[in-house]
Amino acid sequence: MDTRLPSERALATELGVSRNSVREALDHLTARELIIRRPGSGSFVKYRSVEDLKDSGSRPLADQTGPLDHLVMRGILEPEIVRLSVMNMTNKELNTVSSLVTEMEKIRSDVSAFMQLEEKIFMCMAESTRNPLIAESYKMVIEVSREGFRKAHLRRHLTPERILDYQQRYNKLCNALISRDIETAVEFVKLQLVEEQKLLTRDL
């Protein structure tokens, strides 16, 4: 709460993206009231956990976040998470992801178990970026997903056939991480986001 963020220039340099991309992400976080901008001082984290919001009687963040809002935030974070994790993952972290993917491949129809493993895989990658701001932001994404609509959405669409397809994709992602193949790893997450957007459009 009230932690000052690095400047736009510093964030762009650290993340390896343009200042316009950083500005767009900060605009989105400001619109969602997750950060506050103070002229001459910078941007500050305004986020409170779902439990804090419930205790204060405020509307939980998950209730304020629509399906497209969630996808937009994932679209901002996940490609960078994957790109940075390819560059920074240790062998121990790679082994952790590999073990999680192996566990995921045992699932046949349990959507909840699949989602939990998916969260663990992405959280491991988020932490491996060595950027605490990205990791904390992605924790928010997961928290909103748990409290919100995504589980019900996936229950409608995550058939055994689609689970098998996703398992094969996660296996390819794991191989891309091990071989330090940024292009293939980023392509994986972009494909996942596009497909989920198409499925979401059917529900809207």
| Number of domains observed in the structure of the chain | 2
pLDDT, residue 53, reads: 45
Query: How many Å apart are CA 134 and CA 113, to the nearest integer?
Result: 24
pLDDT, residue 32, reads: 66
pLDDT, residue 22, reads: 77
Assess if residue 96 is contained within a domain. Answer: yes
Q: What is the dihedral of CA 98, 67, 45, 143, to 10 degrees?
A: -50
pLDDT, residue 1, reads: 46
The verdict on 108 and 160 lying in the same domain is yes
Provide CB contacts within 8 A for 120, sequence distance 6+.
100
pLDDT, residue 93, reads: 97
Across-strand partners of 44?
Answer: 4, 36
The verdict on 68 and 38 lying in the same domain is no
Domain CATH number, residue 38: 1.10.10.10
Assess if residue 187 is contained within a domain. Answer: yes
CA distances for 76 relative to 1, 98, 127, 134, 168, angstroms: 22, 25, 16, 10, 24
Domain holding 16, by residue range, is 1-47
The verdict on 181 and 128 lying in the same domain is yes
pLDDT, residue 195, reads: 86
The verdict on 41 and 79 lying in the same domain is no
pLDDT, residue 56, reads: 46
Q: With a threshold of 0.75, does the pTM exceed it?
A: no
Assess if residue 59 is contained within a domain. Answer: no
The verdict on 110 and 152 lying in the same domain is yes
Query: How many Å apart are CA 70 and CA 199, to the nearest integer?
Result: 14
Provide CB contacts within 8 A for 181, sequence distance 6+.
86, 175
The verdict on 31 and 89 lying in the same domain is no
Give me the residue label for tokens 């932490």. 127
The verdict on 38 and 97 lying in the same domain is no
The verdict on 113 and 190 lying in the same domain is yes
pLDDT, residue 51, reads: 53
Assess if residue 77 is contained within a domain. Answer: yes
Assess if residue 30 is contained within a domain. Answer: yes
* Full DSSP string of 11-24: HHHHHTS-HHHHHH
Assess if residue 165 is contained within a domain. Answer: yes
Query: Would you state the structure tokens that stand for residue 77, as one six-digit string?
Result: 């974070």
Domain CATH number, residue 174: 1.20.120.530
The verdict on 40 and 76 lying in the same domain is no
pLDDT, residue 57, reads: 47
Query: Would you state the structure tokens that stand for residue 134, as one six-digit string?
Result: 């990205």
CA distances for 53 relative to 48, 66, 89, 197, angstroms: 7, 17, 34, 28
Assess if residue 17 is contained within a domain. Answer: yes
pLDDT, tens digit, for every residue of 132-191? 999 999 998 988 887 666 667 677 778 899 999 999 999 999 999 999 999 999 999 999
pLDDT, residue 163, reads: 92
The verdict on 42 and 99 lying in the same domain is no
* Full DSSP string of 122-168: HHHHHHHTT-HHHHHHHHHHHHHHHHSSHHHHHHHH--HHHHHHHHH
Low-confidence ranges of the chain (pLDDT < 50): 1, 50, 53, 56-57
Assess if residue 53 is contained within a domain. Answer: no
The verdict on 19 and 104 lying in the same domain is no
Q: Using only C-alpha atoms, what is the Rg of the chain?
A: 17
The verdict on 97 and 186 lying in the same domain is yes
